[in-house]
Homo-oligomer: A and B are copies of this chain.
Amino acid sequence: MSRTYSIRDLADEFDITTRTIRFYEAEGMLNPQREGQTRIYTPQDRITLKLILRGKRLGLSLAESRELIDMYRPGLEPEANRPQLEKLLAVIEQRRSHLRQQLHDIERMMQDLDDAELKASEALAALTGA
């Protein structure tokens, strides 16, 4: 008897529209139960949604997020065959390298922002003091 969520619960919690949530479902990323017409979401659905949004914040496409998320769904058993697993490992490495690049970019940009902030506040101080 674990908790469930309405579409509005989730929309409010994650600050997205219900349209967005239905869209993800249409894309096959969510499969809520139904109570009549109405959608009912489980905690698992909620986590999936969370993962999608995290991917989004990192600039992943929905297709990419789906790849990553599908990795985590315990595939019932080690039914996954070797080529599948090897491809999966490759995808992981590729993603990891992308993230490393992003980390690097962020460091550089943080540095630039520091510089810009310094200059700006100096200029502001000059005005204020004048």
Contacts and interface: CB of A to CB of B under 8 A. Distances in A.
Given A54-B109, A58-B105, A86 B117 contact: no
Given A89-B117, A102-B58, A96 B124 contact: no
Interface string A95-130: 110010111011011101100110011011011100
Interface of A: 54-55, 57-59, 68, 71-72, 78, 80-82, 85-86, 88-89, 92, 95-96, 99, 101-103, 105-106, 108-110, 112-113, 116-117, 120-121, 123-124, 126-128
B59 A120 contact: no
A95 B113 contact: yes
Copies of this protein, total: 2
